[in-house]
Structure 1
Amino acid sequence: MATVQESIPHVIRTADDPRQDGIWTARLSQIQPINSKIRLLRLSLPRDGPRLRHLPGQYIDLYIPNVDVVGGFTITSPPQAAIQTQEDPHIELAIQSSPTNPPAAYLWRPESEILNSTVTFKVGGNFIYPPQTLDPKQYSRLERVVLIAGGVGANPIMSMISAMHEAGITNTADGMPRIVRVLYSSRRAKNSQGDGEEVLFERRLRNIAELWNASKDVDYKYTFFETSGDRAEQEEQRENVTTCYRRISHDDLSKAIGPESSRKDTFVYVCGLPTMTDEFVSLLKHSPGIDEKKVLCEKWW
């Protein structure tokens, strides 16, 4: 994730998670500020090195020279971006400013100090898309997938949606579920001048949704819930993209998972702050018609 609960080191908190074999070396090739608290980093991979096969939603154990603490950060890019036939095979990380977390503090140093530096990492995690419980024949095209993100919980969800989108461009029948619902809740921070800052991945998620609006094969809807409180209860809708100025409600969840009669074929991914995740997962697992094993979540606390 972009943040780490500092009282429990990443490697201890995730000790039981599976890790892929191998260690990769990458160059910090690009730094892009998103707002005053979050920056995107590109870690470029050598084209002649071992192939990286990460899955959408996984994280990395990041090893930084002269930093004793191992960092834990979710990969926000799709696996397709790391393919070595790409011009610049890479992974992307979203890093939130955290001065007391040594790996994050290093990655928030001035660009001139860290750009083109070398890091190594391992890949791990089991909060992945497609679901682990399905074999390739079963997930060749899922019926309905609902992705719910809150705050920095957008990180694994972004990787999943990007992977679906990239595969769907190549082959709609195998790349995208028949029905996709994306619910993203976040505050919009203000800068020192009082202007609203960009929200991590909101523009990217909106753009992907708009590209699927005209599809005859995929029913794709994206709703962004801005919780800053400036425009309470207002709603703006344009085609398959909606902006609501409030929190995600239980009614929103019920609509997203679809009619009770079809919920057995619905997979739900939830990642957000502790109270939100616990509340939503409990509600969803007890919703009539839902298979609770198909409600998946990631906790980083």
Structure 2
Amino acid sequence: MVKPKRNIRLKNAVIGWSFIAVATLMIVLFYFYPMLQALLLSFQSGAGTNLTFIGLDNYIRLIKDPTFLTAVKNTVFYLIIQVPLMILLALFISVLLNDKTLKMKGFFRTAIFLPCVTSLVAYSVVFKYLFGTEGMINLFLMKVSIIDAPIQWLTDPFWAKIAIVIAITWRWTGYNMIFYLSALQNIDHSIYEAAKIDGASSVQQFFKITIPMLKPIILFTSITSTIGTLQLFDEVMNITKGGPGNATMTISQYIYDLSFKYTPDFGYAATVSYAIVIMIVIFSIIQFKVAGDRNG
């Protein structure tokens, strides 16, 4: 009796592994192998494919590179301003759209979610024209007498960053809203009814019930948003091209410039890309610790 059971377990194991073998092979081939190759590439330098091993020189160069430090400063600015703003806005909108008395909820949900399925290049070009010197944003602000002269959204270092933040927030708020809305709909409504009977106000219910119940989703969206912001490229490339000067350049754009705009230095570009990996790990650990997640 023991031998047939072993044969059955072995057969089940073989069947199970056969289902995931192709997917595992693809993941190793297209994810882990390129990551390993990029790591090895970061220890090399040279023009184009004419590379030589230089040890840690690229990483030493990274610390002293003023352009890289500027790109890091800009990227962290986007991260600190845009991610909390987007998370709070998405959370607020999802609570409003979860109201049972709200009419046309399907329309509002679709309208708010639609920006995240638009083409990155297309919406970036639209925002470039909207925030132009004679664009609709300046025309509207002057029409309502908020400003007297056009704001140089794309040529002023500060306002260019703000324009990028607005663009990213517009596109990705609806994406995070869907996660919060799905989680809200899974919260037992009787919890809110019990809190209301005990005299809890809507604000107290939000902070004492909604936020704690959404904690895992908030952590997830904050980490994914952080990863996306640290890899920010399309919006900056299409709206400001990193300008004026390098005032809006991100780390990903610097990697692009090192690989395709300047004399190709793939080894140093790989080093900069691993800087993003390290930053993602650091920020993710910080977020796990702040959230009090025991697995972090």
> Shorter chain as normaliser: what TM range?
under 0.3
Q: Which has the higher strand share?
A: 1
TM-score (norm 1): 0.23
TM-score (norm 2): 0.23
Q: Which has the higher helix share?
A: 2
Larger radius of gyration: 2
